[in-house]
Copies of this chain bind each other. A is one copy, B any other.
């Protein structure tokens, strides 16, 4: 058998595998959380942000409705340092005072969000940056008065997302929320992504992180789980098998799936086209969390 014949048969096999997924996900909404670390890590040869933007545009091109949610911790820290702003602490917890909030908002809405929108819009006028403050998207409430303007999600009004998706646009969401008086709050992006996914009845919630999924032994890549149920995952949290840094993501996965999202996924955002492979192939490349 010649290499070329092989290729034709292989291509046919992959198409026959992928086409039913494409059919199934047509018109479905997928919330993708893209981390600030991934952005910051863009030093290697292939630019991860550009690769990510390509995947998002391809998903949309076959009828899916991606919503990108992002954080930006490293970038906020950087500007604070440049401005000589020293973090305050109360009872050992970092406080977000008015100035810190202003800095965080400038960085998230005016810098990180813009960079993602730009990367997508190289492919055409497709992305629109949105802050949680816009059109009442994310209603926030203070987590703890001593912590200042750190907020929890009190409610989500997804109308603006639906309007944009109805125009075939890709919303890119910075997770600043606001309360009834117009006061803004900084919201954890992992948590906000889960709340948004539930509010838009997303089919999938995908976390692009710096690990390749959830492992039973966090030090052994061979123990990555391809799929896991919410119950199993909750047990892993209880038993301490889940890494501390993964806990907010893992909790959001569990809550989102319980709240009606079809499945949640944890992938390595730096693997090329991880998003496409996870969505359009049987095997996937990360961990899928689903109802039992």
Write the nearest CB–CB distance from A27 to chain B, whole angstroms.
Answer: 10
The B-contacting residues of A in range 148-171, CB under 8 angstroms, are 157, 159-160, 163-164, 166-167, 169
> Is the beta-carbon distance between A61 and B106 smaller than 8 angstroms?
no
Please report whether the interface of chain A is mostly helix, strand, loop or mixed according to DSSP: helix
Q: Does A273 contact B (CB under 8 A)?
A: yes
> Is the beta-carbon distance between B122 and A9 smaller than 8 angstroms?
no
A130 to B136, CA, bound (A): 15
A136 to B129, CA, bound (A): 12
> Is the beta-carbon distance between B128 and A160 smaller than 8 angstroms?
yes
Contact partner, A106, options B110, B160, B271, Cβ 8 Å: B110
Q: Does A135 contact B (CB under 8 A)?
A: yes
Q: Does A45 contact B (CB under 8 A)?
A: no
> Is the beta-carbon distance between A9 and B272 smaller than 8 angstroms?
yes
Write the nearest CB–CB distance from A199 to chain B, whole angstroms.
Answer: 14
> Is the beta-carbon distance between B23 and A62 smaller than 8 angstroms?
yes
> Is the beta-carbon distance between A62 and B122 smaller than 8 angstroms?
no
Q: Does A93 contact B (CB under 8 A)?
A: no
Write the nearest CB–CB distance from A82 to chain B, whole angstroms.
Answer: 6
Q: Does A86 contact B (CB under 8 A)?
A: no
Segment at the interface with B among A177-185, A200-208, A249-257: A177-185
Closest to A117 in B: B133
Q: Does A265 contact B (CB under 8 A)?
A: no
> Is the beta-carbon distance between B121 and A114 smaller than 8 angstroms?
no
> Is the beta-carbon distance between A14 and B14 smaller than 8 angstroms?
yes
Q: Does A41 contact B (CB under 8 A)?
A: no
Q: Does A102 contact B (CB under 8 A)?
A: yes
Decide: A14 near B15, CB < 8 A? Known: A110-B106, A117-B133: yes
Residues of B within 8 A of A83 (CB): 82-83
Segment at the interface with B among A186-194, A235-243, A275-283: A275-283
A167 to B15, CA, bound (A): 25
Decide: A131 near B114, CB < 8 A? Known: A121-B136, A163-B164, A167-B159: yes
Residues of B within 8 A of A43 (CB): none
Q: Does A126 contact B (CB under 8 A)?
A: yes
Closest to A169 in B: B135
Residues of B within 8 A of A178 (CB): 118, 121
Write the nearest CB–CB distance from A163 to chain B, whole angstroms.
Answer: 5
**Chain A 62-95 interface mask (CB, 8 Å, partner B; 1/0):** 1100000000000000010011000000000000
5 contacts between A and B (CB under 8 A): A11-B14, A18-B18, A19-B58, A19-B276, A121-B178
Q: Given contacts A16-B276, A163-B163, list 10 more A-B pairs with CB under 8 A.
A: A11-B281, A14-B15, A19-B58, A19-B61, A20-B58, A105-B110, A106-B106, A109-B109, A118-B184, A129-B131
